[in-house]
């Protein structure tokens, strides 16, 4: 009995504290409460019948342990409720794979998501506490630079580039609603246009010191066009900093038929809007990420596998633990070198 009381006195506050970020009505906390109640009740009964007996305590302990085991299942189910992935590449024969970016696959989805994405993503574990800080840190100082923000979305990065003292900032995106929101967010301090990463850009060459692109190029199947365009608009020694899905993370989400190659997949996003939105995407292996950058004439200077910032630990300890041990995104840094300019 004493053992049970001490265990509950330690475990109950700890469990309550750990569960706060998920809400105290979340299923695994409620299941644990029931298990703990059973444990206390069993211990009380056994103590009254035969003081000192530990049989009921052991049974209740087992119930508690199984409830805790069930927690991981509930956690996994929670993840599935937030994002559900299907790979539709059908052994790479899917028509959308061979269309070669004639239709921007993610346009419809981002038109639906734009307002919710703008309102929520800065407080999302994956964006606000992981990818955003990693990109800012890799980009470094932009003071006095001319910067192109490719796939700027609702303009978070564009806003920060302006605030960081960039001399000129141009943002583009395929989604007209995203561009409208970005304009509202940043005002006239940046130039915005609707453009497709998969098509040549209506911009002169050799005009930017830096091209940044945050989680946008993933939605393009053939990277040769956007990378050639980034290379063309950058001046000599210009820099490219872009974030993409890490192949390990996206392999786990999309479960494509093969870890090699590029595969068209769809992900159901349930965390932004009331109704789930199907977001088409591409799974891309490591060589499919690195080689196009080299072939476009860039010299890779750094690959950074992003990790969440410390602030996430208190806000969402489960995501913090998960994303600290398994990569979701990576930031690639590359430069245009004089040697590569001579070849192009
Ligand atoms: C995950 S959001 C990232 C937005 C922004 N960079 C940020 O970090 O908040 C992806 C963005 O890529 C844009 N996008 C998708 N396909 C595109 C394409 N083919 N050309 C230009 N933008 C595209 C979407 O409209 C969306 O705004």
Residues 6+ apart with CB under 8 A from 185: 118, 154, 155, 156, 158, 159
Which one of 83, 109, 110 would you pick to mutate in the ligand 1 pocket, going by the greatest count of ligand atoms within 8 A of its CB? 110
Give me the number of domains the chain comprises. 2
- Helix pair 132-139, 156-163: axis angle to 10 deg: 30
Mean pLDDT of 256-272: 94
CA distance 216 to 33: 43
Residues 218 and 260 in one domain: yes
Query: Is the pTM here over 0.85, yes or no?
Result: no
- pLDDT above 90: residue 45: no
Q: Which of 49, 81, 113 finishes a domain?
A: 81
Would you place residue 20 in the very low, low, confident or very high pLDDT band (cuts 50, 70, 90)?
A: low
- What is the whole-number distance in angstroms between the Cα of residue 175 and the centre of ligand 1? 8
Do 235 and 181 lie in a common domain?
yes
Task: Report the DSSP beta bridge partners of residue 192.
Answer: 171
Q: What is the pLDDT of residue 10?
A: 75
Same domain, 164 and 212: yes
CATH number at residue 281: 3.40.50.150
Same domain, 6 and 71: yes
Domain identity same for 62 and 110: no
| 118 and 212 part of one domain | yes
322 and 261 part of one domain? yes
Same domain as 325, residue 183: yes
Q: How confident is the model at residue 92 (pLDDT cuts 50, 70, 90)?
A: very low
Q: Say whether both 6 and 142 belong to one domain.
A: no
Within 6 A (CB) of ligand 1 lie: 104, 106, 110, 121, 151-153, 156-157, 173-175, 178, 196-198, 214-216, 219-220
Specify the length of the chain in residues.
344
**Same domain for 309 and 160:** yes
Give the per-residue pLDDT at 133: 98
CA 329 to ligand 1 centroid distance, Å: 15
For the stretch 173-207, pLDDT in tens is 999 999 999 999 999 999 999 999 999 999 999 99
Q: Is residue 259 predicted with pLDDT exceeding 90?
A: yes
Distance 343 CA to ligand 1 centre (A): 30
pLDDT tens across 66-77, in order?
Answer: 666 665 556 555
Only one residue has tokens 């430069």, namely 335
Examine the domain organization and report whether 261 and 215 are in the same domain: yes
Domain span at residue 158 reads: 88-343
Q: Where does a domain end: 63, 81, 99?
A: 81
């Amino acid at each position: 009995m004493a053992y049970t009381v001490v265990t509950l006195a330690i475990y109950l506050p700890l469990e309550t504290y750990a569960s706060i970020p998920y809400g105290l009505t979340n299923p695994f906390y409620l299941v644990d409460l029931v298990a703990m109640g059973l444990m206390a009740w069993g211990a009380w009964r056994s103590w009254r019948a035969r003081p000192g007996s530990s049989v009921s305590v052991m049974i209740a302990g087992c119930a508690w342990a199984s409830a805790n085991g069930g927690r991981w299942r509930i956690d996994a189910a929670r993840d599935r409720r937030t994002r559900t992935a299907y790979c539709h590449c059908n052994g790479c024969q899917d028509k959308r794979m061979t269309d070669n970016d004639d239709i921007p696959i993610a346009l419809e989805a981002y038109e639906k998501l734009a307002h919710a994405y703008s309102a929520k993503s800065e407080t999302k574990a994956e964006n606000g506490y992981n990818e955003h800080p990693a990109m800012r840190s890799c980009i470094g100082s932009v003071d006095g630079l001319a910067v192109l923000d490719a796939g700027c979305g609702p303009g978070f990065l564009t806003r920060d580039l302006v605030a960081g003292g960039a001399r000129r900032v141009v943002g583009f995106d395929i989604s007209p609603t995203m561009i409208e929101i970005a304009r509202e967010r940043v005002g006239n301090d940046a130039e915005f246009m609707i453009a497709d990463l998969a098509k040549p850009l209506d911009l002169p060459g050799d005009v930017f010191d830096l091209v940044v692109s945050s989680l946008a190029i993933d939605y393009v199947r053939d990277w040769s066009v956007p990378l050639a365009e980034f290379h063309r608009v950058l001046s000599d020694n210009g820099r490219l900093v872009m974030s993409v899905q890490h192949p390990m993370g996206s392999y786990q989400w999309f479960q494509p038929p093969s870890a090699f190659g590029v595969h068209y997949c769809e992900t159901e996003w349930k965390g932004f809007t009331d109704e789930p939105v199907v977001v088409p995407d591409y799974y891309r292996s490591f060589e499919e990420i690195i080689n196009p950058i080299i072939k476009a004439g860039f010299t890779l200077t750094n690959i950074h596998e992003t990790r969440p910032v410390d602030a996430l630990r208190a806000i969402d300890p489960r995501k913090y633990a998960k994303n600290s041990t398994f990569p979701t995104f990576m930031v690639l840094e590359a430069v245009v070198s004089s040697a590569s300019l001579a070849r192009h």
